[in-house]
Structure 1
Amino acid sequence: MALPAAPDPPLAALAPRIRRASWASLVWLAVEGVVAILAGLSTGSVALLGYGLDSAVQSLGSGVIVWRFTGRRIGSTAAEERAQTIVATSFFLLAPYLVVAALAQLISGTPPDGSWVGVGLAVVGIVLMPLFGRAKRRLGILAGSAATAGEGAQHLICAALSATILIGLFLNVAFGIWWADPLAALILAAVAVHTGTRTWRGRGC
């Protein structure tokens, strides 16, 4: 059996930087996901719960990128394709839940409780996610990795979603406009499907 080809020097040099960026994003997304999910469950906020699940999905993506750029997988085309598929599929799994939960809340007319914790998380996300996103997109393009660049694009979209969630949560907390919360969740579901489709096709860049 032939041994896998050794990664070329530029890619091998980029791998540690990609792993560091992915570990940093994984740690933050894990913390953000746990806090957002707990806050969403306690307040009945579909948007906040979806935001937490989205963070969990992205932390999975960061873990996959760490796996992709470790050891012999650094120079593996098969590992790149597998990572790309996993990152894309994770977003398809998120969308159906958000749609069902948001529509159920809209139809039932059940308002969620306000959450200033959610507002704070969204504000931090608006600041941090563009930093992770730009770094991973740049590294992914340099490494020729659609999976890495795709995850970077997802982080940038997450920043935009943070702004959307922030608006929905703030309208609910400050003005009692409860339907803004499930509406924000529906927007998040649509973007998750769009992003997953682009990553599946290798168009994350």
Structure 2
Amino acid sequence: MPDDEWHVNAAWARRLASISLVFVALQGAVGLWQGWAAGSVALIAWALGAVPEGLAGAVVIWRFTGARMLSDTAERRAQIVVAVSFWLMAPYIVAESLRHLFVRHHAESTVIGIALAAIALLMMPVLGRAQRRLGTRLASAATAGEGAQSYLCAIQAAAVLAGLAVTANWSGGWWLDPVVGLAVAAIAVWQGFRSWRGDDCGC
């Protein structure tokens, strides 16, 4: 039977998942608004990442609520959903990135998008580290996978920042935005396989 420390860690997993849900909702709404306004596939891809991130957070809350807290079946289901969530956005991002490359689309810069990505770059690694540690303590691949989602969000944010900065200062760097989009899609697919196997928590 899980001890008191396990239950405390499970409560923290729920709290961190709730914090993540609030932030990714903001990331998704503002990121899509600014991404479409600027024509930036990298920013749109990052904003769309809010969908699987939010799904991962909701799954962790579901996993550690009520009778499911002690269910191995619930853990495996949660792990699968988190893994699949990594793959949801990849096809769209790849298609849009390739289209932008072929038509040589030039994205615009956006101050709001830069500010949002900078906040994520500072916040998400801290959140991801805490989630990964809790995932290990709880032997929960779903929780560890959510932590990986947070790290991926920070990586995307850094790439978006670089792309927007290059776009703002060098017209010849138009290709960086769709290349960042393709890189984000590749990382998401790879992380989905890691989550499916439980690699993030050694489960």
**Smaller-chain TM-score bracket:** over 0.9
Q: Flag structure 1 segments of 5+ consecutive residues without an equivalent.
A: 1-5
The secondary structure found in structure 2 opposite 1:203 is: coil
Please say if 1:69 is aligned against 2:64: yes
1:13 and 2:8 aligned: yes
Separation (CA, whole Å) in 1 of partners of 2:174 and 2:110: 12
Q: How far is 1:62 from its partner? A: 0.7
Superposition deviation, residue 175 in structure 1: 2.1
Confirm or deny that 1:195 pairs with 2:163. Answer: no
Q: How many angstroms apart in 2 are the aligned matches of 1:96 and 1:110?
A: 19
What is the distance in 2 between the residues matched to 1:174 and 1:30?
30
- TM-fit CA distance, 1:174: 2.5
- The answer to which of 112-121 and 58-67 deviates more is 112-121
Q: Which runs of 4+ in 1 moved over 4 A?
A: none
How far does residue 7 in structure 1 lie from its aligned partner after superposition?
4.9
Distance in 1 of aligned mates of 2:177 and 2:112: 14
Question: How much has 1:8 moved relative to structure 2?
Answer: 4.5
With structure 2 as the length reference, what TM-score do the two structures score?
Answer: 0.94
Residue identity in the other structure for 2:189: V
Percentage of pairs with the same residue: 43
Q: Secondary structure at the residue paired with 2:198?
A: coil
**One-letter code aligned to 1:192:** A
CA apart distance, 1:13: 2.5
TM-score, normalisation: structure 1: 0.93
Contact 1:151 1:204 in 2 (8 A): no
Match of 1:61, SS? helix
Aligned match of 2:150: 155
Corresponding residue number in structure 1 for 2:161:
166
Query: Who is 1:3 aligned against?
Result: none
**Structure 1 residue aligned with 2:131, among 110, 131, 136?**
136
Equivalenced residues, count: 200
> Are the counterparts in 1 of residues 79 and 198 from structure 2 also a CA contact under 8 Å?
yes
- Alpha-carbon distance between aligned partners in 2 of 1:166 and 1:125, rounded to the nearest angstrom: 10
Offset at residue 128 of structure 1 (A) = 0.4
Superposed, which structure 2 residues align to 1:1-205 within 5 Å?
7-176=2-171, 177-205=173-201
- For residues 45 and 155 of structure 2, what CA distance do their matches in structure 1 show? 14
The answer to whether the Cα contact below 8 Å between 1:122 and 1:165 also exists between their aligned partners in 2 is yes
Q: Is the 8 Å Cα contact of residues 140 and 149 (structure 1) preserved in structure 2?
A: yes
| Alpha carbons 2:108, 2:164 under 8 Å: kept | no
Unaligned runs of 5+ in 2: none
